[in-house]
């Protein structure tokens, strides 16, 4: 699988997860080709993918809100309209970052989230 | 791994009979259960508020959660809600709901399920009441 296809598969992961119903996010991420290319896919690549498919950003916001896991990354919009990417529970080495740009925030979240899933 | 998840889910469901125990395979639904309060809402707000209040909340170890299908995740969540109903817990919402039509995803699914069981939103949208 080439890099562009993999990036496209990644940004549509939440949609696929809820449509298919019978496959875990771990399996979908594996099928996306990311496990083989994880060192080559950086936030900037995901950012470029999201610019072409901005409809995926809301899906990732919902994905984050729907998590019921004991720990992990989150992505949400603050009351002041800024986008926040952080880790629950708070950890010294994992920063919480505020973004003005939702695409930048979403790309940062996706990269962190898929790394977490790959390593789970 | 599939076998491990199946075992986890089976044990989780059997966990009904362990409702008084503290930490069931990492699922912190009965930890720090003070006065029968459960918090529902969006991640991670509902966990933060539950920790603050010493209330119950539904969460599953991340490595298991990531390997569950949507149907398995909802099945486990539903069991948690059923036990919460049986206990008659006070239900607090970490994210106030003024218009349920603006709520989506897992939180909406939880609200719809409980409304179907006779709960309704209070006037401020901060609790589900019977």
Q: How far is CA B116 from CA B56, B101, B126, in A?
A: 21, 15, 18
**Which residues of chain A lie closer than 8 angstroms to B63, CB-CB?**
120
Under 8 Å CB pairs connecting chains A and B tally to: 72
Number of domains chain B is built from: 1
**Which residues of chain A lie closer than 8 angstroms to B47, CB-CB?**
88
Helix (H) or strand (E) holding B2: helix B2-14
pLDDT of residue A93: 85
CA–CA gap between residue A102 and residue B76 (Å, rounded): 32
CA–CA gap between residue B29 and residue B22 (Å, rounded): 8
Q: Where are the domains of chain A?
A: 3-118
Residue A23, chain B, CB below 8 Å: the answer is: yes
| pLDDT tens readout for residues A56-88 | 999 999 999 999 999 999 999 999 999 999 999
Question: To the nearest whole number, what is the mean pLDDT of chain A?
Answer: 96
Instruction: Name the β-bridge partners of B121.
Output: B128
CA distance A53 to chain B (A): 21
Examine residue A80 and say whether the peptide bond preceding it is cis (omega within 30 degrees of 0).
Answer: no
Average pLDDT over residues B2-13: 56
pLDDT of residue B54: 96
**Which residues of chain B lie closer than 8 angstroms to A62, CB-CB?**
104-105
Residue B35, chain A, CB below 8 Å: the answer is: no
Q: Could you tell me the pTM of the whole model?
A: 0.86
Residue B54, chain A, CB below 8 Å: the answer is: no
CA–CA gap between residue B11 and residue A113 (Å, rounded): 27
């Amino acid at each position: 699988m080439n890099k562009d296809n993999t990036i496209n598969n990644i940004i549509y992961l939440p949609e696929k997860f809820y449509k298919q119903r019978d496959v875990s996010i771990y399996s979908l991420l594996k099928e996306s080709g990311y496990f083989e290319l994880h060192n080559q896919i950086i936030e900037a690549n995901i950012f470029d993918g999201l610019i072409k498919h901005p409809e995926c950003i809301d899906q990732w916001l919902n994905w984050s809100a729907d998590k019921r896991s004991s720990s992990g990354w989150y992505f949400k919009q603050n009351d002041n309209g800024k986008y926040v990417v952080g880790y629950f529970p708070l950890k010294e080495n994992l920063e919480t970052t505020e973004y003005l740009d939702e695409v930048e925030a979403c790309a940062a979240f996706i990269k962190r989230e898929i790394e977490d899933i790959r390593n789970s | 791994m599939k076998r491990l998840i199946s075992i986890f889910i089976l044990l989780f469901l059997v966990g009904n009979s362990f409702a008084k125990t503290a930490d069931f395979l990492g699922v912190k639904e009965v930890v720090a259960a003070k006065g029968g309060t459960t918090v529902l809402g969006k991640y991670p707000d509902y966990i933060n508020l539950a920790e603050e209040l010493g209330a119950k909340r539904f969460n599953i170890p991340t490595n298991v959660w990531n390997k569950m299908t949507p149907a398995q995740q909802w099945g486990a969540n539903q069991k948690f809600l059923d036990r919460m109903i049986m206990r008659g817990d006070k239900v607090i919402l970490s994210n106030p709901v003024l218009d349920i039509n603006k709520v989506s995803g897992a939180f909406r699914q939880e609200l719809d399920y409980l409304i179907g069981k006779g709960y309704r939103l209070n006037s401020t949208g901060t609790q589900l009441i019977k």
